[in-house]
Amino acid sequence: MTWTLICGVLSGTIMYGVPLLYATLGEVVGQRAGMVNLGLEGILLIGASVGFAVSVETGNPWVGIIAAAIAGALFNLVYAFLVVTRRANQLASGLAVMFFGMGVSAMIGRAYVGGGSKGLVRYQIPGISAFPWATKTMFSYDLLVYFAVPVAVLVWWILFRTRWGLSLRAVGESPSAAFAAGRRISLLKYQAALMCGLLGGIAGAHLSVALARTWSEGMSGGRGFIAVALVIFSKWHPLRAIVGAMLFGGAVTLQLQLQAQGSSISPFLLNMIPYMLTLGVLLVWGGARRFAAPGALGRVYSGEE
C-alpha cells in the first residue's frame, strides 16, 4: 500500500506540475522584460475554455491546444497595451485583465459546463508495465508532459544564449540603457507578452483538455498566482522553475492521494498543503542573489517616444 501511494504521488506530481510549469515559464519571460502580470490567472482560464471548446467542436484536442495558445497570446496583448502603450500601473492592469479573463472564459465555456472530451492520448513510459505494482494509468502521460522539460530548456536557451534574449533581459534590467543601445523597448515587451500569453494558454488548455477533460468555471484554482510566486522561487530562471512546478504538483497529488486513502486528517488541512508548502519554500529558500529580480521589474518606462 505504501509503495503504491509513493508511486501514485510521483506519477501525479508530473501530471499536475506540468500546467504550472508552462505558466511559470511564460511569466519568467514576461518578468525578464520588466512586466509583472497578475492577469496570468485570467490567461489560464481563457486557454482552458477556448482549448476545451475548440477540441469538442473539432473533435481534435491538438487543434484545441493550438487555439488556446493563440487565444492566450492575443488576450495578453490587452495587458501589454495597457502597460506598454498606455503606461498604466502593472499591478492594477494585471488584476483588471484577470477579472476580464474570468468573465470571458465563463461566457465561452457556458455551453460546455459538465461536458466531456476524449482529451490527449497518453503514452506510458516504456518498461513501467513490467512492474507488478504498476497500473495502466500510472506514469502514463500525454505529449505536452513529455515536451515540458525540453520547452523549459528552450526558454532558457532563448533568454541566455540568443541576441533577442539578451535584449529582452536588458529591457528588464535597465530600459533606458537598452534604448540608448538601440533596442526597441515597446516591441520587445510586446513580444515577451505574446510569449507569456502563448505558454499560459497552453497551460490552461492542458488543465481542461488533458488533465480534467472537462470545463468548469474557475477551474484554474489559483494556479496563475502560484506561477507568479514560483517565478520568485525559481529566481527568474527557467530551469529552476521545473523544480518549483514539480514541488507544487507533488503537494497537490499528496493531498489528493491522502484523501483517497481515507486519511483521518481534516480535508481542509489537506487542501491547504500545496499553498502552505509554497509559502514555506518562499520563506526558506533565500540565500545567494545570483538570480535576483530584474532591476526595472514593475516599473513603467516612459522615456521612449
Q: What is the pLDDT of residues 69-121, one digit of tens each?
A: 999 999 999 999 999 999 999 999 999 999 999 999 999 999 898 888 788 88
Residue 14 has pLDDT above 70, yes or no: yes
Look at residue 278 in the predicted model and tell me its pLDDT: 67
Cell of 181: 543601445
Residue 165 has pLDDT above 50, yes or no: yes
Predicted confidence (pLDDT) per residue in 219-249, tens digit: 998 899 889 988 988 889 999 999 889 888 8
SS3 135: coil
Write down the residue that cell numbers 481542509 correspond to: 268
In this structure, of 10-14, 45-49, 99-103, 241-245, the range with the lowest mean pLDDT score is 10-14
Residue 305 has pLDDT above 50, yes or no: no
> Which amino acid is present at 18?
V
* CA 196/CA 172 separation, integer angstroms: 15
Q: What residue ranges define each of the domains in the chain, with the CATH number in brackets?
A: 2-110+141-284 (1.10.3470)
Cβ atoms of residues 195 and 33 within 8 Å: no
Look at residue 10 in the predicted model and tell me its pLDDT: 79
